[in-house]
Chain A
């Protein structure tokens, strides 16, 4: 039987690589922000899966903090793109 966590991690890794195409190619700045947001979401999922696979609660705490901080980063990038700052 295949290990579900390992499979999920490999698929998420490939997805992050695919989103990076949009991150580098994206014709406008908001496109790149969208790609970055997607990468952040996938990273949080990957950290959660790491935490369960190794049974470390600390990893899940790191994921919570990463989710909140990446949100702040997205907001600042959006402000920059919208010329509010």
Chain B
């Protein structure tokens, strides 16, 4: 029973973070700020969804399940690591490409443009 509550809380946090990430993608003014919302909130949401899955798998295993549940949890963990690393690197690639394509960020300071002019 307790495990079920933990699973529900993890999934709720994950879905809330994903929803806020989508709201950020739709609301923010330019590419860079949208990337902030996308990278951080969706990665955080998927981390918590995966934690919910791992909690479910562990509870099933401890309740007398077979070794297949452990395999499922291990592979979920691997997928989570792959997702977290690739999301961050993909965000660098997109922001660098956007800057090279000549899209200037809206904002108060832009130290990068000072360097490119020199």
Question: Which A residues have a C-beta under 8 Å from some C-beta of B?
Answer: 4, 7-8, 11-12, 15, 18-19, 21-22, 28-31, 33-35, 37-38, 41-42, 44-45, 48-49, 51-52, 55, 57, 60-61, 63-64, 67-68, 70-71, 74-75, 78-79, 81-84
Task: State which of A7, A34, A41, A49 has its C-beta within 8 Å of the C-beta of B34.
Answer: A34
Given contacts A4-B11, A49-B49, contact A64 B75 (CB under 8 A): yes
**Using a Cβ–Cβ cut-off of 8 Å, how many residues does chain B contribute to the interface with A?**
48
Residues of B within 8 A of A21 (CB): 26
Contact at B50–A48, with CB atoms within 8 Å? yes
Number of A-B contacts (CB under 8 A): 143
Q: What is the CA–CA distance of A7 and B45 in the complex, to the nearest angstrom? A: 15
Q: Are B82 and A48 in contact (CB under 8 A)?
A: no
Contact A67–B82 (Cβ < 8 Å): yes
Give CA–CA (A83, B102) in the complex, Å: 11
0/1 string, B69-110, CB within 8 A of A gives 1: 001100110110011001101110110111111010000000
Chain B residues within an 8 Å CB radius of A12: 15, 18
List, in ascending order, chain A residues with CB within 8 A of B97's CB.
30, 33, 78-79, 81-82, 84
